[in-house]
Amino acid sequence: MKKHYKDIVIKQLPKSEIELTGAIDSKYLDECFSRATLEMSKHAELPGFRKGKVPTEMFVERIGEFAILEEAAQLALDSEYPKIVEEEKINFLGRPSIKITKLAKGNDLGFTITTAVAPTFTLPDYKKISESILKEKEDDVVTDKDVSDVLDEMRKHQAHARLHDTGTEHNHENPDIKEDMLPALDDEFARSMGTFKDLPDLIVKIKENLKDEKVRRRTEKTRTSIMEAIIDGTTIDTPEILIQSEIEKMLLEFKGDVERAGLTFTDYLKTVGKSEDDVRKEWYPVAEKKAKSHLVINKIAEDEKIYPDAEKVRSEAEKILIMHKDADSIRARAYVAMILTNEKVFEFLESIGGKEKTTEAK
């Protein structure tokens, strides 16, 4: 693959970005100028000529040499940029910012490319960290009081509902529910709450749900502690593009929540007296931590050769595409692969402490 670029110089910038400067040979730029002239003239329309039949000299005179030269520069850069990335082994992230620094007929094309790159960093002993945190086991036992509290809430909820239905004088937003207003805690009450045959059956289900919830919360807390400890022991020059990407995701999700509550995001901002820039600044530390988490998880997956099952990625991506007809298939597969990889990495870290896997990557 012939290259037409030269004089490549790479400068490291903060936030895991690089500035790459170089030049493209003037002869290749001339070739691109001829191609640009031909392509652009195909769509040109001038009085007395059919579309695409305008003489080249007349077309260049009418549109101007510099306009064609700009298109030629774009053609040259589109061709050479992938070659530069491959030869210089640049693990870039996101879209690069390309600036033309020198553009004149018969001269080399000068350019500057600024792009974020995947940061290089060394992880702490994440196995030791995980093992230490997993030793601090929390109690998942469901107590009688836990069950009693749930039953009391269920009885109060039913009492509120009855007051609302009857429209009594107690029917206001937060009526005082006295003990004698609560339904009896018996089989009839249990059956009124759903498909339960009696009170013991309801209690068994409550215990199961409480147990599942305790395990879920404990798992989330443990995973958060492990990741925070690993991040604290890691120095990462997090690319700004990743942080901003996380902020965009957070904004999109939050806007959806606000709209479902019957407001617009603009209304919300007026209510809290903030601008969108204010919100972005407030969320920046959280977004930075999320970006670091993704980098750490990907690094552990790479080091431990942890990969999601290809068939699971395909099937789960198909489900997303069925539910969201306009979704991009490549992004859907990338999203699923990320979720499954995250789960498998955490399962790996949890297994270090001899802990049973509480979940399975779907």
Domains of the chain with bracketed CATH: 5-117 (3.30.70.1050), 139-230 (no CATH)
- Report residues of the chain scoring pLDDT below 50: 169-171, 355-362
Quick one: pLDDT at residue 353? 65
Closest CA to 33 of 43, 25, 23, 44: 25
In angstroms, rounded to a whole number, what is the distance separating the alpha carbons of residues 134 and 223? 9
CA–CA distances in Å: residue 335 to residues 34, 245, 290, 317, 318: 42, 14, 15, 8, 12
Residue 124 has which token pair?
A: 């702490």
Q: Is the pTM of this model over 0.75?
A: no
Quick one: pLDDT at residue 247? 94
Quick one: pLDDT at residue 354? 56
In angstroms, rounded to a whole number, what is the distance separating the alpha carbons of residues 71 and 326? 32
Beta strands across the sheet bearing 109-117? 5-13, 17-24, 109-117, 92-102
Torsion over CA of 12, 116, 90 and 74, rounded to 10 degrees? Answer: -110
